[in-house]
Copies of this chain bind each other. A is one copy, B any other.
Amino acid sequence: VESRRRQIAVVGAAEASAQILALAEEVGREIARHGGTVVCGGRTGVMEAVARGAHSAGGLTVGVLPTYDRDSGNPYLTVVIASGLGYARNAVVVAAGDAVIALPGEHGTLSEIALALKLGRRVVGLRAWSHLDGVLGADDAATAVALAFAP
């Protein structure tokens, strides 16, 4: 069999500005163009935009939801994991990524970045979070995705 597709976890706010949503969508398209799979929290905002971007470019998308409601995911998910784990699912989202791209967000996003760093995952902060120790900064989607795919 071929080698495993690279999986990139993308995290960020459930409610975001049009500018941030456009950025997330571009991240999703770029990941798909690189042949990668998007993993996200499955809901609205950045999670929906990145899935929409990847989906529009023919990529695979996985949403790990906090509840058991399989229909609560956004419409751009190829795979829905209705985990029922509550916020413990944040640990699963980042563990499922070979690398993590973090867009602007709040406490949930911060928890995912911190868990990812604890797990030793590479974390790229896209126009956010680069002040945190261990987070690589990027100013545009192409750079962020390139960093996430770098060996």
Q: Which residues of A contact B (CB under 8 A)?
A: 1, 4-5, 7, 37, 39, 55, 60, 62, 64, 68, 70, 73, 75-88, 90-92, 95-96, 98, 106-108, 110-111, 114-115, 117-119, 134
Kindly state the separation between the CA atoms of A91 and B86 in the bound complex, as whole angstroms: 9
Kindly state the separation between the CA atoms of A89 and B92 in the bound complex, as whole angstroms: 10
Q: A91 with B95: in contact, given A107-B114, A111-B114 (CB under 8 Å)?
A: no
Residues of B within 8 A of A81 (CB): 39, 62, 64, 81, 92, 95-96
Across the interface, A115 reaches (CB within 8 A) one of B95, B106, B111, namely: B111
Across the interface, A60 reaches (CB within 8 A) one of B78, B87, B106, namely: B78
Total identical chains: 4
Kindly state the separation between the CA atoms of A103 and B86 in the bound complex, as whole angstroms: 25
15 intermolecular pairs with C-beta atoms under 8 Å apart: A7-B80, A60-B79, A62-B81, A68-B95, A68-B119, A80-B96, A82-B96, A83-B86, A83-B96, A84-B88, A85-B85, A86-B91, A87-B91, A88-B92, A111-B118
Q: A85 with B86: in contact, given A114-B114, A134-B107 (CB under 8 Å)?
A: yes
Closest Cβ of chain B to A51, distance in Å, is 10
Residues of B within 8 A of A82 (CB): 95-96
Is A75 in contact with B110, judged by CB distance below 8 angstroms?
Answer: no
Is A118 in contact with B114, judged by CB distance below 8 angstroms?
Answer: no
